[in-house]
Amino acid sequence: MLNRTPKTMEAVVLQFSTQKRYQENLDKLIEWIGMHHEKQIIVAPEVCLTGYDYEHLETAAMFSAKALKTLKKEIGGQILVLTLILKEGDEYVNQAVVIHKHRVVHRQNKVKLFTLGDEDLYLHPGREKKIKPFEIEGVKYALLICFELRFKDLWKRVEGADVVMVPARWGKLRKQHLEILSRALAVMNQCYVLLSNSADSDMARSSAIIAPGGDTVMDDRKEAVEGIVDFREIKKMRRYIVMD
């Protein structure tokens, strides 16, 4: 039996700061999951559980692996998206995971590492071909991780997705860039963009739910920004302005 696209889905993009104690961050995320148990999609900021703790990467990776097991138990019918510092062989990666029905249904390592933040010195980049739409229960999703939002060749790779999810840790000095790029991606791809950015003191916040026409739900004062993904809006926009 084929899955049919729902008319709407409730979504929440989180916007909280990362503390030094990893467990405190995991507890906070689980608390938010519980508070938003009715939401179908939850997107958390990039590396929200550990931050880029380069001095303790081994510890961060071990904690993230254990946290992933915990989160899989928590997530049933919802979809949770976040990125984790994990170890693959002898290399450390920043991996986006999509959890649904108690299992990881999609993994994607960050391809474009942010050299100004020394990511390239500590982390191994993913493969570009892994960036592509994937389907969950009739809906086409795609992922871009933070800095990847700047690369137009990667925009081509997420074409056709109904919802593009962007976990980010984007600095406040380039806040305007984040808002312009994420809104432009929604308009160009005629899709919803769910952006979740860190609320650390040096981060841009700007977490948002952006509709295909560019309408945006955003509030920098909140730790959770809530909105609706309306698939009828996607269909209407794609019929109205044909991009083929």
The H or E element containing residue 218 is strand 216-218
pTM of the model: 0.96
pLDDT grade for 242, boundaries at 50, 70 and 90: confident
Percent of the chain with pLDDT over 70: 98
pLDDT at residue 5 tops 80: no
Write the pLDDT tens digit of every residue in 24-79.
Answer: 999 999 999 999 999 999 999 999 999 999 999 999 999 999 999 999 999 999 99
What average pLDDT does this structure show over 162-167? Answer: 98
| DSSP code per residue over 114-135 | -GGGTHHHH-----GGG-S-EE
CA distance 212 to 208: 13
Position 6 scores a pLDDT of 85
Widest pairwise Cα distance in the chain: 52
**Which pLDDT score is estimated for 1?**
38
Report domain extents, the chain: 9-240
Phi, psi for residue 92 in degrees, rounded to 5: -100, 140
Give residue 112's pLDDT: 98
Distance CA 80, CA 104 (A): 9
CATH fold for domain 9-240: Nitrilase/N-carbamoyl-D-aminoacid amidohydrolase (3.60.110)
175 compared with 2, residue with greater pLDDT: 175
- Give the C-alpha separation, 184 to 50, whole Å: 30
Is residue 15 within 8 A of residue 45, CB to CB? The reply is yes
For 186-222, how does the pLDDT look when each residue is reduced to its tens digit (9 = 90+)?
Answer: 999 999 999 999 999 999 999 999 999 999 999 999 9
Would you place residue 3 in the very low, low, confident or very high pLDDT band (cuts 50, 70, 90)? low
